[in-house]
Amino acid sequence: MQKYTRNKGIELIFIDNPTISTPYIRQLLDVAKKQGLVVRTSLESTVKLLLIIELNRAEKERETISQRIKDGISVSDKKSGRPFGKLDKMSKGLEEDIT
Instruction: Compute the C-alpha angle 30/6/64, nearest 5°.
Output: 110
Positive or negative: CA dihedral 41, 44, 47, 52: negative
DSSP secondary-structure letter at 19?
G
> What pLDDT, on a 0 to 100 scale, did the predictor assign at position 95?
79
Domain map (residue ranges) of the chain: 3-79
> What pLDDT, on a 0 to 100 scale, did the predictor assign at position 63?
94
> What pLDDT, on a 0 to 100 scale, did the predictor assign at position 82?
57
> What pLDDT, on a 0 to 100 scale, did the predictor assign at position 85?
59
DSSP secondary-structure letter at 64?
H
> What pLDDT, on a 0 to 100 scale, did the predictor assign at position 66?
92
**Tens of pLDDT along the chain (99 residues)?**
444 445 577 787 878 777 778 888 888 888 888 888 888 888 888 888 888 888 898 899 999 999 998 888 787 766 555 555 566 677 788 778 877
- As a dihedral over the C-alpha atoms of residue 28, residue 3, residue 44, residue 13, rounded to 10 degrees, the angle is 50
> What pLDDT, on a 0 to 100 scale, did the predictor assign at position 80?
59
> What pLDDT, on a 0 to 100 scale, did the predictor assign at position 42?
86
